[in-house]
Structure 1
Amino acid sequence: MNVVQILERLVRFPSVVGTPNGAIVDWIRAYLESHSVEVRVLPGPEGDRANLFATLGPRDRPGYILSGHMDVVPAGEAEWRSDPFTLRAEGDALQGRGTSDMKGFLAAVLASVPAVLAGPLDRPLHLAFSYDEEAGCRGAPHLIARLPELCAPPLGAIIGEPSGMRGVRAHKGKAAARIRIEGRAGHSSRPDQGINAIHLMAEVLARAVETARALEKGPQDPTFEPPYASMQIGTIRGGQALNIVPDLCVADLEARAIPGIPPRTLLEPVHAVVCSLAERGVKATWETLSDYPALSLPADAPLARLVEKLTGEPPLAAVSYGTEAGLYQNAGVPSIICGPGNIARAHKPNEFIRMDELTSCQAFIEALGGDLLAGS
């Protein structure tokens, strides 16, 4: 199968984040096993989703990981010009949900397998495909925790998020939480008989705004725009009508951290307010939605130099989006981003990847495989 045929099959699976992914996992496993590749399917704690790990070459020697996620964001936008889960060619553009983010990378990896296996590999190339990345990198930590039993300590991980096949050395980390406050409904003419959940949430919001302003004056890293850590309340929901005391308010909060700052610590001042409300008898809960660290790879790191050699361009210093790369780095695996497509196309109607981007990525992976051959 060529790269377009593989991409067509991958796009056909509606592997939307937060849903069972057995069908796409089974297809990838069957494809790899047809090439005599050793495959491990690693079920997650959810019970209906799994990561996949496969090794080309000797797994008892240090090699490289190619990391990608199998899930995609939903595709319910009315602006789609065709079925988002059917690959459609429009000129040189191949449209479909996940083509850029990031089934195009997965397709290029899988299409490269025969060529990589054609030579006697002295060091391995590992394929690490995760689930629920779009929900805050929820699947990858379970896979990474099992690396010691799956392979020798890796030399590095290449995360194939869309970067125009340009290496990227850094991104911010992120932590997100959902705050839920329950009050008691009543008529607005008798507020003394109700408990206003929105009023209680105002204490939480005030601390979030105060913290966000303080972060602007905190530690700076000029690699990023903006150069400081940030915080925002992204959504807030509550109330039924103007004359009803609201009995429920829910807010989603996120913080983005520059390297060197654990993202979850940025949320602690807000979490403290929620805990204070609970101690005062308020039904206030805190749910962590995501938590992944920043990425920071030195410009002179061997992995950065390798990617520069294979792409012909020096890696970019940083990007604004987050990836699983920080999780691998946190586990002691040097990591970098490099993948086909453009992040500006992701999560949008008529998402696409160009044919030349796919072939460029496939050539990159096959060249990486050539670096792992005996005698290279």
Structure 2
Amino acid sequence: MTAQDILASLVSFPSVVGRPNAAIVDWIRSYLASHGVQATVLPGPEGDRSNLFATIGPRDRPGLILSGHMGVVPAEEPEWISDPFRLRRDGDRLYGRGASDMKGFLAAALAAVPRLLALQPKSPIHFAFSYDEEAGCRGVPHLIARLGELCAHPACAVIGEPSGLRAIRGHKGKAAARITIRGRAGHSSRPDLGLNAIHAMAPVLAAAVAAAEAAKSGPRRPAFEPPYSTVQVGALRGGEALNIIPALCVAEVEARAVSGVSPVALLDPIRTALARLDAEGFETRWEPLSDYPALALPEDAPIARMLADISGQEPLAAVSYGTEAGLYMAAGIDAIICGPGDIARAHKPNEYIEASELAACERLILDLAARFARA
């Protein structure tokens, strides 16, 4: 099968984040099995979603991980001009949800399997495909935790997020949480008999604004835009009607941290403000939504130099979006971002990848693997 054929199959699975993904996992497992490659399916704690891991070459030597996520964001925008889960070609463009982010990389990696096998690499090439990356990298930590039983400690990982095949060495870390405050409803004419959850949220929001201002004075990394960590409240819901004391208020907050700063720590003042409300009779809940560290791969890392040599382009120092790369790096595995497509096309209607980008990615994977085959 060509990379385009494989991409058409992968796009046909509506593997939307937060939903069961057995169908796409089983298809990939069967495809690898048809080439004699055994894949290990690694169910997550949710029970209906799994990661997948497979190896070409010896498992007892440090090797290269080709990492990507199988999940996609929903495709409910009315602007789609064709079925988002049916690959459509128009000239060089291949349209479909996940074509760029990031089933294109998965398709290129899987299309390379026959030639990767022919290389008989002395150092292994691993496939690590995860779930729920779009929900804050929730699936891959479970895969990383089991690497010790699957292979020798890997030397490096290439995370195939859309980057125009230019390697990227850094991104910010992120932590996000949902805040819930429950009070007591009542008629607005008797506020003394109720507990106003929206009013109670006010000091929590004030703590978030203060944290955002404080972050601007923290460590700076010129490679990022902006060059400092950030905190924001991104969603706020509460209340039913003007004359009803609101019994519920929900907010969602996030922190994006430059390297060397803990994104969770940036949210701590907000969590402390929330905890104070318990003494006032409110019921509160702090629900973590995501937590992944920043990526900061040294400029002289072997995988960075290798990709620079292959592509003829120096790796970018940093990008604004986050990926699973920071989690691999935290596990002691050099990680770098490099994949086909453009992040500007992701999460939008009529998402596409170019057929030429797909072919170029397959060539890059084979060139990279050939260097590992000789290692």
Q: Report whether the alignment pairs 1:52 with 2:33.
A: no
Match of 2:168 in 1: 168
Query: Is residue 67–residue 158 contact of structure 2 (8 Å, CA) maintained in 1?
Result: yes
What amino acid maps onto 1:73 in structure 2? V
Match of 2:316 in 1: 316
Match of 1:198 in 2: 198
Match of 1:180 in 2: 180
Cα distance in 1 for residues equivalent to 2:38 and 2:311: 28
Match of 2:340 in 1: 340
SS of residue in 1 equivalent to 2:223: coil
Match of 1:365 in 2: 365
Match of 1:238 in 2: 238
Identical-pair percentage: 65
Cα distance in 2 for residues equivalent to 1:335 and 1:113: 22
Cα distance in 1 for residues equivalent to 2:277 and 2:228: 29
Cα distance in 2 for residues equivalent to 1:354 and 1:250: 41
Q: Report whether the alignment pairs 1:67 with 2:58.
A: no
What amino acid maps onto 2:64 in structure 1? Y
Cα distance in 1 for residues equivalent to 2:266 and 2:136: 17
Cα shift readout 1:250-269 (whole Å, capped 9, x = no counterpart): 00000000001121111000
Match of 2:133 in 1: 133
State the Cα distance separating 1:278 from its structure 2 match: 1.8
State the Cα distance separating 1:38 from its structure 2 match: 2.2
Match of 1:100 in 2: 100
Cα distance in 1 for residues equivalent to 2:174 and 2:240: 32
SS of residue in 1 equivalent to 2:373: coil
What amino acid maps onto 1:210 in structure 2? A
State the Cα distance separating 1:368 from its structure 2 match: 1.4
Match of 1:122 in 2: 122
Cα distance in 1 for residues equivalent to 2:214 and 2:89: 49
Moved more, 268-277 or 22-31: 268-277
Cα distance in 1 for residues equivalent to 2:121 and 2:171: 32
Cα distance in 2 for residues equivalent to 1:258 and 1:119: 39
State the Cα distance separating 1:356 from its structure 2 match: 0.7
Cα distance in 2 for residues equivalent to 1:251 and 1:112: 45
SS of residue in 2 equivalent to 1:89: strand
Cα distance in 1 for residues equivalent to 2:32 and 2:279: 54
Query: Is residue 161–residue 340 contact of structure 2 (8 Å, CA) maintained in 1?
Result: yes
State the Cα distance separating 1:281 from its structure 2 match: 2.8
State the Cα distance separating 1:188 from its structure 2 match: 1.3
Query: Is residue 66–residue 159 contact of structure 2 (8 Å, CA) maintained in 1?
Result: yes
> How many aligned positions are there?
375
What amino acid maps onto 1:329 in structure 2? M
Matches within 5 A, 1:31-46: 31-46=31-46
State the Cα distance separating 1:120 from its structure 2 match: 2.0
Match of 2:150 in 1: 150
State the Cα distance separating 1:241 from its structure 2 match: 1.1
State the Cα distance separating 1:191 from its structure 2 match: 1.2
What amino acid maps onto 2:188 in structure 1? S
Cα distance in 2 for residues equivalent to 1:156 and 1:31: 25
| TM-score normalized by the length of structure 1 | 0.99
| TM-score normalized by the length of structure 2 | 0.99
SS of residue in 2 equivalent to 1:27: helix
What amino acid maps onto 1:203 in structure 2? P
Cα shift readout 1:230-260 (whole Å, capped 9, x = no counterpart): 0000000001111111110000000000001
What amino acid maps onto 1:51 in structure 2? N
Cα distance in 2 for residues equivalent to 1:372 and 1:298: 20
Match of 2:328 in 1: 328
State the Cα distance separating 1:280 from its structure 2 match: 3.3
SS of residue in 1 equivalent to 2:8: helix
Cα distance in 1 for residues equivalent to 2:373 and 2:268: 49
Structure 1 residues 111 and 168, CA gap change in structure 2 (3 angstroms): same
State the Cα distance separating 1:91 from its structure 2 match: 1.6
Cα shift readout 1:308-330 (whole Å, capped 9, x = no counterpart): 11212110010000000000000
CA-atom RMSD in angstroms: 0.8
State the Cα distance separating 1:108 from its structure 2 match: 0.3
Match of 1:257 in 2: 257
Cα distance in 2 for residues equivalent to 1:248 and 1:236: 11
What amino acid maps onto 1:15 in structure 2? S
What amino acid maps onto 2:182 in structure 1? E
Cα shift readout 1:80-105 (whole Å, capped 9, x = no counterpart): 00110000012211000000000000
Cα distance in 2 for residues equivalent to 1:115 and 1:223: 37
Cα distance in 2 for residues equivalent to 1:189 and 1:36: 73
SS of residue in 2 equivalent to 1:372: helix
Query: Is residue 136–residue 289 contact of structure 2 (8 Å, CA) maintained in 1?
Result: yes
Cα distance in 2 for residues equivalent to 1:46 and 1:260: 31
Query: Is residue 183–residue 281 contact of structure 2 (8 Å, CA) maintained in 1?
Result: no
Cα distance in 1 for residues equivalent to 2:365 and 2:95: 23
What amino acid maps onto 1:349 in structure 2? P
State the Cα distance separating 1:372 from its structure 2 match: 2.2
SS of residue in 2 equivalent to 1:322: coil
Match of 2:7 in 1: 7
Query: Is residue 29–residue 38 contact of structure 2 (8 Å, CA) maintained in 1?
Result: no
Match of 1:217 in 2: 217
